[in-house]
Each structure stands twice: as structure tokens, then as C-alpha cells.
């Protein structure tokens, strides 16, 4: 089924970011999409509603954002890869169910196309104000995986990666990008379907009597039961034992919650993705993601042309934050610059990881316009003069 | 994706008794319900209906929300999902769309289904996806200590209506009917056999079916309102019913001795998943969609 649709698509296409997201999801094996209309993410739902019937999948527009996240979890618990897409207000509404997905370890993908906030904010304007919400939006201690593509091409590939990570690590994975690249139209090379690496969750396959749905393998990840396969397990958002049934015994809670918190940490090396440009001898290190990383790259190149040793660490994985590479780079860099389309969120994490001796400055903009390369360059030049 | 479960035939058998232990996770016992709570009787009726319908436990998915009703799913030896407050119908919608081969039953309560989950109830009824929704109505938020709910009777005392409730309640069956449910019924727990048969009919019905169970919260609600012990409560509930068989509308004012029971509504409308698949097939042609 999948190859049929893929073969209908020319290898090189002019695509909008949100369209590329939908095609990436289909290629990754997503067969159920539940969503609710919201600017600037609606094109994802629209494209999914067109594509899914052609691959024997299901599209459903639910009654609200909360219900669409619930339906996505329900589908995945039934064994079908699923996704939803939203923006600011909808992302806020989905937080309880993202927490359920983390607690019950339900693989799924949540696309958040960021717009200006808080509240209704600026629906048609780009922003990067959900950096911390994507990490800490749901209540309680919890792990998170958040990916931040910076081009239309990368929206396609990172949507596939998001599905793969969610399946491997049994966690809802958030793909975070802003309105600017969501609505950007660019040339995308769609890989041959056979060449796309697809990961599927581990299924329980032993005898049902011995099976405990939350007993992890050596990798910290428990194989998942498929309803109908005879395991007849219980899934709950309550803190639960390996058996799946709730516990409030302090030692048991510590054990099972620690495993949940550590399972992403354990695989940090496999999850962290980033891109370095001109970093080898960089005195001024720019740390950025998404559309702002593209502006930063231009600024770094222009700075280099002017003789300033600037470099760029572009984060693709936002959470878990690629800590080690940043710490390596700041051993050499004398300044760190964090441009972001918010009042200063990513910078908090960068500051946490930098030694006190390394000054960290921001370029912050939250007026609904992307940050221009010249604004970043001006700051780089200012730092170079110091 | 899986094929839709074959239509169930209305029970060929109607057993007088069945071995309830075959359908329970006995290692979770003793259960957490208070003495006198009607929810246990409702659970028995449901398992009995499943038994008489010969539904395989592996093909059964029970989805519940939060509250006393929400805890019941854990005791059932099936694929069980204890979800979030008010949202079991939304979870069940995703599950049934992904796995139409499963028999999906939702257990919910009056607060779970009509307050925080009201939006999901009306849209589940409108869609007519093949889900059976069993709403246990005990007129109160029991798990949180006895607060007023959307079905609390007038003048009743709860921890948040210390002067007596003055809010009008929902008639859940009328709500489900108005929203487009294609099977609606109500029964009291005392008439366990009738309740079993009603649940059976709801499960067999191809489309969204809504069954309201008049349950009793003796410990909190009954005590607070001097409604007597559990037998007294269920007997007074029984005295209040007006049995109705397969009518077409709910036209009696709700509460105070006017509970229509039995099958209140039954009609045919295309089941959502089958209709979706059939429509995709029609529009896209062979090979594009089953």
C-alpha cells in the first residue's frame, strides 16, 4: 500500500513544510491521524485526510484538541502508528494526554507548529516560544524527546525520525517547528521508500502467563502487548508496577519512575542530533534551532567573511539537550550567542551548561517576525569588538 | 488495518448464572468498592452479558475514565485501558478506528461522561462508531469525596452543595438521544437480569449505544442524604422506574419517580467506520482502500 502512494510521488517535489510533514508521516507508517483545525498547522491535517484513505489508514477530525490526542493514544495502544498536529493553544490542551502517553509509554507523534503567544497570540505569525513547554508542559517529572527541523526537507526526515524514536523508546515525540518553515514552500527530495529506515516497536511475543507489560528489556524499554494477541494487559495513567497495575509503595514508585526517567537518558547518544558549522576554531559560538538557525548560518558565514571566527551549533534534537557537544565547544569559545524567537528560553539551558567564565548573550525577538541574519551578525560583531 | 468485527448475533443463550471468576482478575481482589456500591452489580451484569454473547476476552477492549467507575476496568480479564478523566470515549474512538476487529466497551460515570466528558459523549453519539458506552450514574463524585455532579437530584446534599443542590440535572439518555445515539437504554441495578439483557442489546447494536445504569453510592451520597442502607436505596430506585420497551423518545421529566427504563431508543444509521471505508472505496476505487 505504502509503495503505491510513494511511487506516485516524483522524487523531487515542491512542497510546503506542513505538506512535507504529512508525507513524512505516511512514509514512516502512520496510519491514523486525529486532529483539530488550528492555524498554522491545519495543512497537515488536510494532507493527511487526503493521503490516509489511499493507504488503508484512517483520518478523523475530532471534537477538540484533547480528544484528538486521546484518539491518537487509543490508536497506538491498538497497535497502529498515529499522529496529531497542532499549535500553541492546542498544544496546551494536549499536555495532559502527552503525560498519559509518557506514563503509559504509548508511542505517537505530536507536531507543534509554533505561533506567537501567549494565549491566542498571533495565529499566523512564527515564534519559538514553546521551547520550555515542549520539555515541561505536562505535570510531574518526565522524560521528553523534542525534534526541531529547520527546513522543509528536514521536516520530512525528522517526522520519520520522530516516529522511529517514538516506536523505539515508547514515548510521544514532539516535532517542534515554527510557522515560517511550516508554510515555507521549498524543493524536497523524497527518498525511495525502500531506502527509508523505519523502526517498529518491540512486540511482546513470549508466553502470556509470564508476561509483564512494563518489565523492561536490557535497553530499559518494555516490549508492547498487541490487543488480540492474548496478553490482556491493563494500561493506566496511574503510577504502575511492571505488571501494569497501580502502586503507591514508595520503593516501588521510586523503581518504576526512575526507569521511566532514565530510559531516554540511557539512549541520549542515539537520540541527540545536531549540526556544526565553522565550529573548529570558533571564538563566538551561536546556538540556535529551526528557522533561527538558518538566519544564524547566514550570519556566521558573513561574520567569517569579515574575519570573525564565529561558528554555529544547530540543534536538531532540542530535548534531551545535546549537552556534551555544547560543553566541548565552549571550552574554546569565548562568547556564546543564543538567538531565538522568544524572550529567552533556550538561553537558560545554554547558560546552565556553560562555565561561569563564558558569557552567554541572547538575540531575542517576539514580535511575529523571524530574526534577520543581520540582527544576529550585528550582535556577533559587537561581541567580537569586546 | 484490521477488518471490522463480524456482527454479533443477539444472544442465543441467556444463562441464569455464569462463572464470574472466569472474567475477573482475581489477584486484584479484594476490590476497592465500598460496601453497598451499585457499581459491582453493574460490573457483574456487564460480564454476564459478555459471557452470554460469547465474546472472546482477547477481542474485548474495555476503556474507562477516572472516578469510581474508572477503576472497574482493572478487574476485567480483557484488554483494559484506564484513561484520563472524561476522555474514555475519545480514547475508545481512536482504538476502535485503529482496531475495528475489537469489541470496544466504555465504562464511565455521571461526572466523567456528562461533565468533563460531555463534549466527547455528544460527538461519539453523532459519529455512530460501534462503541458501547456504559454510564454508571450514582449522582455524585464518589472518588473525590462526594461533590455535586451533573445528575445530582434537586435539593440533595453533597460536599459542595451543603445547602442542597439547586442546579437542574442532565437526563443523560435524552442527551445521548438528542446527539444522535442509535441505541439508548436505562436500567437500575436491582433488576440485574434486565440490566444484563439491556447491556447485551447495546453491545450487539451496530453503532454507538448508550446504556445508563442507575447505581447507588450508599456510603457517601446515601449517608449524606439519609437515603438509608443500600437495599433501601436500590428498592426506592426500583419503585421509581417506569419500564418502557423500545420506545422512540424520552418524554418524561427526569428524576423524582420518573425513570424510564428499558430500551428507550433503537434506530439504524450507518456505522461510522464501515461508512468511512465504504465511502473511501467508492470515491477512490479498487486497490486504494478496502
User: Among A153-157, B50-54, B236-240, which is the least confidently predicted range?
Assistant: B236-240
Distance from CA of A22 to the nearest CA of B (A): 18
**Are A73 and B79 a contacting pair at CB < 8 A?**
no
Q: Are strands A234-236 and A185-189 parallel, antiparallel or unpaired?
A: unpaired
pLDDT of the residue at B285: 87
| Domain interval for residue B221 | 20-284
Arithmetic mean of pLDDT over chain B: 92
The model's pLDDT over B99-113, given as tens digits with 9 standing for 90+, comes to 999 999 999 999 999
Under the banding of pLDDT at 50, 70 and 90, the label for residue B30 is: very high
Question: Is the CB of A75 less than 8 angstroms away from the CB of B59?
Answer: no
Asked if A191 and A156 count as a contact pair (C-beta separation under 8 A), the reply is no
Q: In Å, how far is B106's CA from the nearest CA of chain A?
A: 12
Rounded to 5 degrees, φ, ψ at A20 are -60, -35
Give the pLDDT mean for A202-209: 95
pLDDT of residue B253: 38
- Which residue of B65, B94, B116, B290 is the best one to mutate when testing the A interface, meaning the one whose CB has the most A CBs within 10 A? B94
Contacts of B290 in chain A (CB under 8 A): 56
The 10s digit of each residue's pLDDT in A26-36 is 999 999 999 99
Whether the CB-CB separation of A315 and A339 falls below 8 Å is answered with no
Q: Is residue B9 part of a domain?
A: no
pLDDT band at B8 (very low <50, low <70, confident <90, very high): confident
Among residues B185, B203, B181, the alpha carbon closest in space to that of B194 is found at B185
**Assign residue A60 a region: left if phi > 0, alpha if psi is -120 to 50, beta otherwise?**
beta
A271 to chain B, closest Cα gap in Å: 28
Q: Is the pLDDT of residue B249 over 50?
A: no
Task: Specify if B62 maps to a domain.
Answer: yes
Instruction: Reply yes or no on whether the pLDDT at A320 is more than 50.
Output: yes
CB B25 within 8 A of CB B32: no
Does B63 contact A63 at a Cβ distance shorter than 8 Å? Answer: no
DSSP, collapsed to helix, strand or coil, labels residue A14 as strand
Residues of chain B numbered 22-81 and touching chain A (CB < 8 Å): 25, 28, 57-59, 61, 63, 73-74, 77-81
Helix (H) or strand (E) holding B181: none
The helix or strand, by DSSP H or E, that contains position A170, with its residue range, turns out to be: none
The overall average pLDDT reported for chain A is: 96
Largest interatomic CA distance in chain B = 65
Q: Phi/psi at B169 (nearest 5 deg)?
A: -95, 165
For residue B47, is pLDDT > 90? yes
Q: Is there a domain that residue B263 lies in?
A: yes
Residue B250 confidence (pLDDT) above 60: no
- pLDDT-above-70 percentage for chain B: 92
Task: Give a yes or no: residue B185 inside a domain.
Answer: yes
Q: Which pLDDT does position B240 carry in this prediction?
A: 84
At A2 the pLDDT is 44
> In which band, very low, low, confident or very high, does the pLDDT at B274 lie, cut at 50, 70 and 90?
very high
Cα dihedral A74, A76, A80, A82, rounded to 10, equals 90
Cell 523502526: give the residue: A199
Mutate to test the interface with A, among B32, B97, B104 (most CBs of A within 10 A): B97
**Secondary structure of residue B252 in the 3-state scheme:** coil
pLDDT for residue B245 is more than 60: no
Q: What domains are there in chain A, each with its CATH number? A: 2-195 (3.40.50.970), 276-385 (3.40.50.920)
Instruction: With cut-offs at 50, 70 and 90, classify the pLDDT of residue B254.
Output: very low
Q: Is residue B28 part of a domain?
A: yes
Interchain contact, B98 vs A100, CB within 8 Å: no
Query: Mind listing the pLDDT tens digit for each residue in B62-91?
Result: 999 999 999 999 999 999 999 999 999 999
Distances (CA, A) of B72 to A77, A105, B24, B136: 19, 22, 10, 11
Find the CB nearest B1 among A74, A80, A237.
Answer: A80
Chain-chain contact of A80 with B280 (C-beta, under 8 angstroms):
no
Q: A159 to each of A30, A162, A279, A288, B49, how far by Cα in Å?
A: 10, 5, 27, 20, 44
Determine which helix (DSSP H) or strand (DSSP E) holds A275, and give its type and residue range. strand A274-277
Segment A308-315 mean pLDDT: 98
For residue B236, what are the contacts with CB-CB under 8 A and spacing of at least 6? B227, B228
The string of pLDDT tens digits covering residues A255-306 is: 999 999 999 999 999 999 999 999 999 999 999 999 999 999 999 999 999 9
Separation between Cα atoms, residue A65 and residue A72, nearest integer Å = 11
Q: What's the confidence (pLDDT) of residue B258? A: 67
pLDDT at position B290 is: 42
Residue in A with minimal Cα distance to B118:
A63
Q: Provide DSSP, B188-247.
A: ETTSHHHHHHHHHHHHHSSS-EEEEEE---IIIIIHHTT--SHHHHHHHHHHTEEE--S-
Residue A313, Cα to own-chain centre: how many angstroms? 17
Q: How many CB atoms lie within 10 A of CB B69?
A: 30
Q: Based on the number of CB atoms within 10 Å of its own CB, is B162 exposed (0-12), middle (13-18) or buried (19 or more)?
A: exposed
Whether B8 is covered by a domain: the verdict is no
Contact B94 A227 (CB under 8 A): no
Q: Phi-psi category of B256—alpha, beta or left, where left has phi over 0 and alpha has psi -120 to 50?
A: left
Residues of A in Cβ contact (< 8 Å) with B94:
32, 34, 60, 70-76, 78, 82
- pLDDT of residue B157 exceeding 90, the answer is yes
Which of B82, B84, B98 is opposite residue A234, by nearest beta carbon?
B82
- Whether A102 has a pLDDT exceeding 90, the answer reads yes
Judging contacts by C-beta atoms under 8 Å, the chain A residues touching residue B92 are 74
DSSP code for B67: S
Taking CB atoms and an 8 Å cut-off, how many pairs form between chains A and B? 142
* The residue count for chain B: 290
Quick one: pLDDT at residue A386?
83
Number of independent structural domains in chain B:
1
Strands A108-116 and A122-126: antiparallel
Tell me whether B90 touches chain A (CB under 8 Å). Answer: yes
Long-range contacts of B266-269 (CB under 8 A, 24+ apart): B266/B182, B266/B183, B266/B184, B266/B201, B266/B205, B267/B182, B267/B183, B268/B182, B268/B207, B269/B128, B269/B180, B269/B182, B269/B207
Question: What span, in angstroms and rounded, lies between the C-alpha atoms of A46 and A36?
Answer: 10
pLDDT at A9: 53
* DSSP 8-state secondary structure symbol assigned to residue A123: E
* Grid coordinates belonging to A227: 490487543
CA-CA distance, A314 to A319, in Å (whole number)?
Answer: 13
- pLDDT(B276) > 90: yes
List phi, psi (to 5°) of A219: -80, 5
Does the pLDDT value for residue B116 go beyond 60?
A: yes
C-alpha cell at B94: 481512536
Please give the pLDDT value at position B163: 98
Per-residue pLDDT at A11: 85
Assigned domain for B11 exists: no
Report pLDDT for A7. Answer: 54
CATH label of the domain that carries residue B265: 3.40.50.970
Q: Determine the pLDDT at residue B289.
A: 45
B11: confidence class by pLDDT, cuts 50, 70, 90 = low
Q: How many Cβ atoms from other residues are within 10 Å of residue B167's Cβ?
A: 11
Mean pLDDT in residue range A156-161: 98
Helices (H), A266-322: 268-271, 290-305
Q: What is the pLDDT of residue B12?
A: 60
Burial (CB < 10 A; 0-12, 13-18, 19+), residue B34, is: middle
**B247 in any annotated domain:** yes
Q: Is the pLDDT of residue B96 over 90?
A: yes
Residue A238, judged by CB atoms within 10 A of its CB (0-12, 13-18, 19+), counts as middle
Amino acid at each position: 500500500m505504502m509503495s503505491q502512494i510513494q511511487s506516485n510521488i516524483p522524487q523531487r517535489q515542491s512542497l510546503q513544510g506542513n505538506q512535507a510533514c504529512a508525507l513524512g508521516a505516511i512514509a514512516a507508517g502512520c496510519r491514523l491521524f486525529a486532529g483539530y483545525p488550528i492555524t498554522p498547522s491545519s495543512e497537515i491535517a488536510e494532507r493527511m485526510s487526503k493521503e490516509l484513505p489511499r493507504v488503508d489508514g484512517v483520518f478523523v477530525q475530532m471534537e477538540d484538541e484533547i480528544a484528538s490526542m486521546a484518539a491518537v493514544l487509543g490508536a497506538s495502544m491498538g497497535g497502529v502508528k498515529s499522529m496529531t498536529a497542532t499549535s500553541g493553544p492546542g498544544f496546551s490542551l494536549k499536555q495532559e494526554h502527552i503525560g498519559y502517553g509518557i506514563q503509559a509509554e504509548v508511542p505517537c507523534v505530536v507536531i507543534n507548529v509554533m505561533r506567537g503567544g501567549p494565549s491566542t497570540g498571533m495565529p499566523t505569525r512564527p515564534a519559538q516560544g514553546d521551547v520550555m513547554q515542549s520539555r515541561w508542559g505536562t505535570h510531574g517529572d518526565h522524560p521528553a524527546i523534542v525534534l526541531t527541523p529547520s527546513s522543509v526537507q528536514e521536516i520530512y526526515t525528522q517526522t520519520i525520525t520522530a516516529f522511529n524514536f517514538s516506536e523505539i523508546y515508547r514515548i510521544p515525540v514532539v516535532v517542534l517547528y515554527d510557522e515560517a518553515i511550516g508554510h515555507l514552500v521549498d524543493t524536497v527530495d523524497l527518498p525511495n521508500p525502500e531506502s527509508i529506515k523505519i523502526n517498529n516497536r518491540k512486540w511482546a511475543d513470549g508466553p502470556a502467563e509470564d508476561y509483564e507489560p512494563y518489565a523492561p528489556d536490557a535497553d530499559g524499554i518494555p516490549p508492547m502487548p498487541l490487543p488480540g494477541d492474548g496478553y490482556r494487559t491493563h494500561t493506566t495513567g496511574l503510577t504502575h508496577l511492571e505488571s501494569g497495575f497501580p502502586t503507591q509503595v514508595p520503593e516501588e514508585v521510586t523503581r518504576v519512575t526512575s526507569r521511566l526517567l532514565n530510559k531516554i537518558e540511557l539512549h541520549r547518544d542515539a537520540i541527540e542530533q545536531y549540526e556544526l558549522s565553522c565550529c573548529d576554531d570558533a571564538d563566538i559560538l551561536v546556538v540556535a534551532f529551526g528557522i533561527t538557525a538558518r538566519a544564524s548560518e547566514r550570519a556566521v558565514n558573513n561574520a567569517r567573511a569579515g574575519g570573525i571566527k564565529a561558528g554555529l551549533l544547530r540543534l536538531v534534537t532540542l530535548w534531551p539537550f545535546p549537552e556534551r557537544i555544547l560543553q566541548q565547544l565552549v571550552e574554546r569559545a569565548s562568547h556564546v550567542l543564543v538567538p531565538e524567537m522568544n524572550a529567552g528560553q533556550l538561553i537558560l539551558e545554554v547558560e546552565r551548561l556553560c562555565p561561569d567564565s563564558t558569557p552567554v548573550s541572547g538575540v531575542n525577538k517576539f514580535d511575529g517576525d523571524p530574526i534577520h541574519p543581520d540582527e544576529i551578525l550585528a550582535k556577533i560583531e559587537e561581541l567580537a569588538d569586546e | 488495518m484490521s477488518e471490522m468485527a463480524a456482527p454479533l448475533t443477539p444472544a442465543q443463550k441467556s444463562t441464569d448464572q455464569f462463572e464470574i471468576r472466569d472474567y475477573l482478575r482475581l489477584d486484584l481482589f479484594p476490590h476497592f468498592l465500598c460496601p453497598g456500591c451499585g457499581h459491582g452489580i453493574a460490573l457483574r451484569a456487564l460480564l454476564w452479558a459478555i459471557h452470554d454473547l460469547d465474546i472472546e476476552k482477547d477481542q474485548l477492549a474495555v476503556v474507562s475514565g477516572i472516578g469510581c467507575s474508572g477503576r472497574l476496568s482493572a478487574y476485567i480479564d480483557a484488554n483494559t485501558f484506564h484513561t484520563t478523566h472524561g476522555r474514555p470515549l475519545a480514547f475508545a474512538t481512536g482504538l476502535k478506528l485503529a482496531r475495528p476487529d475489537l469489541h470496544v466497551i466504555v465504562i464511565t460515570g455521571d461526572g466523567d461522561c456528562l461533565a468533563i466528558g460531555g463534549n466527547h459523549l455528544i460527538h461519539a453519539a453523532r459519529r455512530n462508531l460501534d462503541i458501547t458506552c456504559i454510564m454508571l450514574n450514582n449522582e455524585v463524585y464518589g472518588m473525590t469525596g462526594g461533590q455535586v455532579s451533573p445528575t445530582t437530584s434537586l435539593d440533595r446534599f453533597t460536599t459542595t452543595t451543603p445547602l442542597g443542590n439547586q442546579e437542574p440535572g442532565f437526563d443523560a439518555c435524552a442527551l445521548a438521544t438528542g446527539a444522535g445515539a442509535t441505541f439508548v437504554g436505562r436500567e437500575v441495578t436491582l433488576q440485574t437480569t434486565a440490566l444484563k439483557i439491556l447491556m447485551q442489546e447495546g453491545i450487539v447494536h451496530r453503532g454507538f449505544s448508550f446504556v445508563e445504569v442507575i447505581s447507588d453510592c450508599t456510603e457517601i451520597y446515601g449517608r449524606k442524604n439519609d437515603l438509608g442502607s443500600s437495599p433501601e436505596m436500590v428498592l426506592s430506585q426500583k419503585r421509581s422506574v417506569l419500564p418502557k420497551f423500545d420506545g422512540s423518545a424520552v418524554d418524561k421529566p427526569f428524576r423524582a419517580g420518573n425513570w424510564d427504563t428499558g430500551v428507550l431508543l433503537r434506530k439504524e444509521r450507518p456505522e461510522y467506520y464501515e461508512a468511512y471505508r465504504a465511502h473511501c472505496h467508492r470515491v477512490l476505487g479498487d486497490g486504494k482502500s478496502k
